[in-house]
Amino acid sequence: MTQSPLYSRIIGTGSAVPPDCVTNQELAGRLAARGIETSDEWIATRTGIRQRYFAAPEAMTSDLALTASKNALRAADIDLQSIDLIIIATSTPDFVLPSTACALQRKLGLRNHCIAFDLQAACTGFVYALTIADQFIRARACQTALVVGAEIFSRLLDFNDRSTCVLFGDGAGAVVLQASEQAGVISSALHADGRHTDILCAPGRVSGGAICGQAFVTMDGQAVFKLAVHLLEKVALEALDKARMSAAQIDWLIPHQANIRIMQGTCRKLGLPLERMLVTVDQHGNTSSASIPLALDEAVRDGRIARGHTIMIEGVGGGLTWGAAVIRF
Ligand code: UT7
């Protein structure tokens, strides 16, 4: 007997940001005290960022993931113990080991021995994590997955480097994904090219009880910018092709929120009106793997995204990694 096709569907979304909201002006003031010159005008015009949130020194990535997950679980209205897979996309885990996903499992009070692991694909992490959870569900290896993007990216920032420290912020977003006969994740496309390692990296490592190398993030912004616009268009078209859909059928484009100019460029290349793109980079800055689920949750909660809408998520990040997915909400 043939089994009916199975999909994974998003049944709840949630997000969290830490309490400390830092405006461009405030950040410019803090940097001026270090002799570093920047301005609200430079940051806002070059990136679209107006503010970001920074976590307190004692906060953990799993704490932000926990709040976002609780919100997503409340929206999904399911029994916590039915979660049988946790994936956290993060470049800023609590520890080298164990995984942040195991910390989240403990903090949630999940005692069902479900699968839990972290995934490192930088700013494309959430697209990777969602795709992998979808594959677990389609393979009937799991029923209900908690997929999280969570970062305390401020820990990687060198506040003497104005070309990076004004760009990033902290936050988390989560979705509950469940097996369904109704369409959910329709298609996805994932890629990586390790030849571009050097243009966006934090090449520190722990050795002999100390951090060796450069633990702060460094970026050749222009090189990433050029690749990003090209790769995001290509991967979006690939995901659409796999879904047998055209860009005109997309209700909402949710790009990784790094730079408004990159986002608008991709949107235009796809022939989509800018009104169909979700923008939260102004509020959160670049929160790496958290940016897509943060934007998704905001639009679900304020009612812009409704059941039946077709969404495209897409991202590019260190590695380089890039990917896109088409989702029926
Ligand atoms: O999340 C992963 C994906 N990441 C991205 O997609 C980021 C991609 N790259 C970008 O978003 C942009 O390249 C940046 C926002 C990082 C930089 O914007 P840009 O228009 O490429 O600026 P630039 O690096 O060419 O710098 C222009 C000028 C330079 O001064 P000179 O050499 O022209 O005199 C910089 O020194 O702006 C200067 N500058 C700043 N000035 C004030 C760099 N950072 C700052 C700053 N404040 N914070």
Per-residue model confidence as pLDDT tens digits over 6-49: 999 999 999 999 999 999 999 999 999 999 999 999 999 999 99
Percent of the chain whose predicted confidence (pLDDT) is above 90: 98
> Are 311 and 254 contacting, i.e. CB atoms less than 8 angstroms apart?
yes
Q: Is the pLDDT of residue 215 over 80?
A: yes
191 is catalytic: no
3-state DSSP assignment of residue 24: helix
Contacting residues for 271 by C-beta, under 8 A, at least 6 apart: 247, 248
Please tell me the distance from the alpha carbon of residue 165 to that of residue 260, in angstroms, as a whole number.
17
Strands 85-89 and 115-119: parallel
Is 261 near ligand 1, meaning CB less than 6 Å away?
A: no
pLDDT at 2 over 80: no
Query: Which of 22, 39, 43, 46 to probe ligand 1 with, by most ligand atoms within 8 A of CB?
Result: 46
Give yes or no for residue 159 CB within 6 A of ligand 1.
Answer: no
Tokens coding 11: 């049944």
- What are the pLDDT digits (tens) for 157-195? 999 999 999 999 999 999 999 999 999 999 999 999 999
Ligand 1 site, residue 221, Cβ cutoff 6 A: yes
Index of the ligand 1 atom closest to the CA of residue 219: 16
Whole-number average pLDDT of the chain = 97
Q: Is 267 a catalytic residue?
A: no
| Ligand 1 pocket test, candidate residues 52, 225, 288, most atoms within 8 A of CB | 225
User: Does 46 sit in the ligand 1 pocket, CB within 6 Å?
Assistant: yes
- Residue having the nearest C-alpha atom to atom 38 of ligand 1: 163
- CA 139 / ligand 1 centre spacing (Å): 44
91 lines ligand 1 (CB under 6 A): no
Determine the distance separating the centroid of ligand 1 and the alpha carbon of 163, expressed in angstroms: 6
What domains does the chain contain, in order, with CATH numbers?
A: 7-182 (3.40.47.10), 186-328 (3.40.47.10)
8 Å CB contact between 280 and 295: yes
- Compute the distance from residue 135 Cα to the ligand 1 centre, in Å: 38
Q: Are 187 and 326 in contact (CB under 8 A)?
A: yes
* Ligand 1 atom 20 nearest Cα: 46
State the catalytic residue, choosing from 102, 114, 123, 165.
123
Quick check: CB of 225 below 6 Å from ligand 1?
Answer: yes
The one-letter amino acid code at 202 reads A
Task: Output Rg (C-alpha) for the chain, integer angstroms.
Answer: 19
Give yes or no: 256 in active site: yes
Q: How many CA atoms lie within 13 A of 235 on its CB side?
A: 25
Q: Active site residue: 165, 256, 267, 284, which one?
A: 256
Per-residue pLDDT of 80-130, as tens digits, reads: 999 999 999 999 999 999 999 999 999 999 999 999 999 999 999 999 999
State CA 320 to chain mean position distance. 15
CA distance 291 to 205: 25
229-270 pLDDT per residue, tens: 999 999 999 999 999 999 999 999 999 999 999 999 999 999
Where on the phi/psi map is residue 167: left (φ > 0), alpha (ψ -120 to 50), or beta? Answer: alpha
